[in-house]
Amino acid sequence: MANNMRYFIGNWKMFGVPKSINIVNKINTFIKSDKKYNRKYRVIITPPYTLLESFSKIFKKKLISIGSQNCYHKDNFSSNTGAVSPYMIKKIKAKYVIVGHSDNRAEGDTEDMLKKKVTFALKNKLKVIFCIGENKKERSNKLTFKTLKKQLSKVLEKKLNKDNIIVAYEPIWSIGTGKIPKSSDLSKTIKFIKKVLSNIFKTKKSIKVLYGGSVDSSNIGQFRSLQEIDGFLIGGASKSSKNFIDIIKNYYR
């Protein structure tokens, strides 16, 4: 196993109540006892907005980082009912924000809106987890690379702080289906994404690219040999401390 840092990011989506802090506490207890932590991997949990401030305060000085699942495409304060800006997220001490998840794209996030979200998030010193991915039709029509290149090039640009950007490749056809790409296909796709990112940012420095889509403790071992993958964005399996911990354990087995 190479010494490259791996990220294990839990996206809780619409899940969690105040007592769900017990899940994160159990994960934190595990990583405190794991000598590989901070040397081999990092853990980020993204709860819903209702838990974001309390979790951020509780874990401010602990090993786990807390992030938001989304942000609005305007900054500071505005008259948009129900919206939460990057500025507001930063002020409650969250450190990360997911932008461009397929759930939000399906609900109307345009590339122009995503570009603003990324820009304002970085302006507020948040680290961005930028999601991309093709749907089943695009995959069937062999449009995966074209789709991913468009999603990256329409939102990211050279002037942005690349050091605070992590890209998460989540094929839409894989999310929640139990289906994952073949290792050979996934390797080619991640390498392609990194090449596109190098061209956008005009750098040879590799930008972190994660995989997401039906990741669980039973299939995590299949990704172990793919050194180009810098970590994982985990959905359903992150809602259980046991499942999440088993993912980490099985990856480093």
Question: Residue 111 catalytic?
Answer: no
Rounded to an integer, what distance in angstroms lies between the CA atom of residue 106 and that of residue 84?
19
Q: Which of 59, 75, 54 is nearest to 25 (CA)?
A: 59
- The Cα angle at residue 192 between residues 238 and 142, in degrees rounded to 5: 90
Catalytic residue among 73, 134, 138, 170: 170
Rounded to an integer, what distance in angstroms lies between the CA atom of residue 133 and that of residue 103?
11
**96 close to 65: Cβ distance less than 8 angstroms:** yes
Catalytic residue among 101, 107, 134, 138: 101
Question: Residue 73 catalytic?
Answer: no
Q: What is the DSSP string of 41-97?
A: EEEEEE--HHHHHHHHHHTTTSS-EEEES---SS-S--S-TT---HHHHHHTT--EE
The set of residues, in sequence order, having a beta carbon less than 8 Å from that of 35 and lying 6+ positions away, is none
Active site residues: 101, 170
